[in-house]
Structure 1
């Protein structure tokens, strides 16, 4: 429900054309979107602000077809100048999610796929580095002179008694 001030802001604010499209929240995987919302708001604010995150959750869950324009107006006090960008990203993801069979935005699926590929590459690099270190360690071990070599260690284990006279 918009107050008089909110109604004026709704009329005077220029919104992207995509905000005129409706999103059916029943077709969206809400848990995935909640993770994205929490992460994105935390990035913007620099900390985990549960109040703002919960407000955003409530605004998108409050109706089957949430009003992104109203959401933007209500979040402006918290996210300030980054609110339009956040809302545009959110709406784009929600529009994508409702057309996906799993209800997950294609962009988030692609990002996750790239993250997994990057993790696999890093794991392979770490395994290769560990293999190389093991090989290098084995080489150094073979190059080391045997114990008791020419270091004067051949007397090890031999005991001497030296008589002391007073």
Structure 2
């Protein structure tokens, strides 16, 4: 074996056929202005956003898809983790749209990501927009329902205890 056991050929970084396909796709597509906005994910309350994503995906798909929901959340959390490492603190919204297109199609992903970006921008700025206000109101209603259910359960338990004692 000549040459000290070196491999012949080239690696994937040297070959143009195996370049970064996402980067080429991002450059090829036309993007609306909202995708150019830099969203600082460290300023966002993800509790509100996660609930909105879950509800909106059910509306778009017509059924609950936990895999897509977790994938979308992981994309946002990954951007937040990068921000903790002080690499790039901004969300790559173009990459998010491309990644979600494979799951829900081009038109649906366009509307979903545009709405999500509007929500994230308003959350980042601390605005109390219609989306955030309705989400907060829904959360308050949900909490009141849970409290009333808990009170009903406690009453039922007391009634059952009184029967046996």
> Which of 2, 11, 32 is equivalent to 2:27?
11
Matched, 1:69 2:94: yes
Greater than 4 Å deviation, 4+ residue runs: 112-116
Residue 92 of structure 1: how far off its partner (Å): 0.8
Distance 1:66 1:115, change over 3 A: closer
Residue 5 of structure 1: how far off its partner (Å): 2.7
Distance 1:6 1:113, change over 3 A: closer
Using the size of structure 2 for normalisation, the TM-score is 0.61
Q: Distance in 1 between matches of 2:36 and 2:129?
A: 21
Residue 110 of structure 1: how far off its partner (Å): 3.6
Residue 19 of structure 1: how far off its partner (Å): 1.3
Q: 1:141-152 counterparts in 2 under 5 A? A: none
| Deviation by residue 1:116-159 (Cα, 9 ceiling, x = unmatched) | 9xx9xxxxxxxxxxxxxxxxxxxxxxxxxxxxxxxxxxxxxxxx
The higher radius of gyration belongs to 1
| Deviation by residue 1:17-54 (Cα, 9 ceiling, x = unmatched) | 12111111121110100000111111111111111111
Distance 1:32 1:114, change over 3 A: closer
- The residue number in structure 2 matching 1:42 is 58
Q: Distance in 2 between matches of 1:35 and 1:115?
A: 10
Q: Which has the higher helix share?
A: 2
- The residue number in structure 1 matching 2:114 is 88
Q: Secondary structure at the match of 1:62?
A: helix
Structure 2 residue runs of 5 or longer lacking an equivalent are 1-18, 84-89, 142-165
Q: Distance in 2 between matches of 1:27 and 1:113?
A: 17
- The residue number in structure 2 matching 1:107 is 130
- C-alpha contact (below 8 Å) 1:93/1:107 kept by paired residues: no
Using the size of structure 1 for normalisation, the TM-score is 0.60
Distance 1:55 1:112, change over 3 A: closer
Matched, 1:56 2:72: yes
- The residue number in structure 1 matching 2:16 is none
